[in-house]
A and B are shown apart, each in its own frame.
Chain A
């Protein structure tokens, strides 16, 4: 005996699975569902591998100090690398193509020929990382990056002491 309870079909007092009329939209296949759900994971994995590859090849030895670079000059040859040192005061000379200056690390001084404009904070006594290669004893660079310290000192220390600062 068939009867209808709340829109559902009940046969002989037992619960029945009611087949609903098919909707216009076809449900996506299992393969398609799998692709849709796993695609974002795959994209992230590819990005991770790319960052790891780029990072591992560059970040681990990000730069040599001027002292290390001079010691390794014959090994480095004319290859491009990054070199760190502090800009020696009184050596900065502007040129038509950029700027010439020297950097120091401990007692080692290297003359740098820079092609291009230096960054805003470039100045004497500031640590920099230059990108380029050796040509003889001089270092030819096409990029200067300023390395800032984690010390933040106010430009007006007098004003701070009056305000009860901790300088």
Chain B
């Protein structure tokens, strides 16, 4: 299958890009003037956070397309759920890498500033979205409810991003997506950071395709099981 080979190729490119980011980030790029070697988490933490935003963005678009009657299709619901699952994993990684970075930099693992609090909230909102999907066996009801929940949860994404502007925080202001869109990152450190963004974005696309394929298979299996159960009990003339 041509398309499956393309997906395999995409996965391979994503892995190679992540390996290249690690090599550049750990050995090639210089230490930072103030942070020293702690700066090496820069190549992981912002890209991982970006992928979480991207995943929730895709979940929201797919949810809108499901809710809109003209474009309603169960596949949009499966895409939304698949992307949300990846988003939750990447939000957890954002919190984890941020905490690992925060301990030596700030001096604390965790603090209740606006950026960290709204990110924790984001994580819980989408865990709630996934929990809601398991709360009802009715597929149509589940899809509608979760699509609305996804759109409500997405309100927190711009709040997370703007939290460092709207409130006083310990977390620094946006590194890349700042008001002037000019990252203040030095030379090869900037290129490595860019590679990190590309690498993790490719990994996200690969994960989304694979997770969606699994979701389709699960959906088909449930249909077959249901049909089997009905066939077991019913006879036809």
Contacts and interface: CB of A to CB of B under 8 A. Distances in A.
Given A17-B234, A147-B172, A48 B114 contact: no
Interface string A1-12: 000011111100
Nearest to A50: B124
Contacts, number: 180
Contacts of A14: 237
B35 A152 contact: yes
Interface in B113-133: 113-114, 116-118, 120-121, 124-125, 127-128, 131-132
B32 A154 contact: yes
A41 B128 contact: yes
A79 B29 CA distance: 45
Interface string A21-56: 000000000000000011011011101100110110
A8 to B, nearest CB: 3
B175 interface: yes
A54 B188 CA distance: 40
User: How many B residues are at the interface, by size bracket?
Assistant: 35 or more
Contacts of B178: 150
Nearest to A47: B124
Interface string B116-160: 111011001101100110111000000000000000000000000
Given A61-B168, A152-B32, A160-B30, 11 more contacts: A37-B136, A48-B125, A51-B121, A59-B112, A59-B113, A62-B114, A63-B170, A121-B107, A148-B105, A150-B172, A152-B184
